[in-house]
Amino acid sequence: MGTKNNPGRFDCYDDADPDEPMFVLLARDPVAPVLVRLWADLRSLDSNTRPEKIAEAFACAKDMKAWQVYHQK
């Protein structure tokens, strides 16, 4: 699971081209965990996607949800 202080194994910043558009989801976004799980589900249909990358995305979604629960106001 990646964070700002501790990037994950599949962190996109190092792999991105200098002019490549990106979209970042933060755990504070209420729909972020659902969207990350959806991304992982869809990528799991692609046989070229490494299983450990998909597993990290599912772990990220779980951690995002836990973060939301812990930080509820």
What's the pLDDT tens digit per position in 9-61?
777 777 889 999 988 899 999 999 999 999 999 999 999 999 999 999 999 99
Q: Is residue 35 part of a domain?
A: yes
Give pLDDT, residue 33.
Answer: 98
Taking alpha carbons only, the member of 71, 61, 72 closest to residue 32 is: 61
Does 11 fall in a domain?
Answer: no
pLDDT at position 55, please?
95
Domain range for 46: 25-70
Number of domains in the chain: 1
Q: Indicate whether 41 belongs to any domain.
A: yes
Q: Is residue 46 part of a domain?
A: yes
pLDDT of residue 16: 85
Any domain includes 18:
no
Q: Is the pTM of this model over 0.95?
A: no
Q: Which tokens sit at 16?
A: 């991105």
Alpha helix ranges (H) inside 1-73: 12-15, 32-43, 51-70
Q: Which residue has the higher pLDDT, 22 or 3?
A: 22
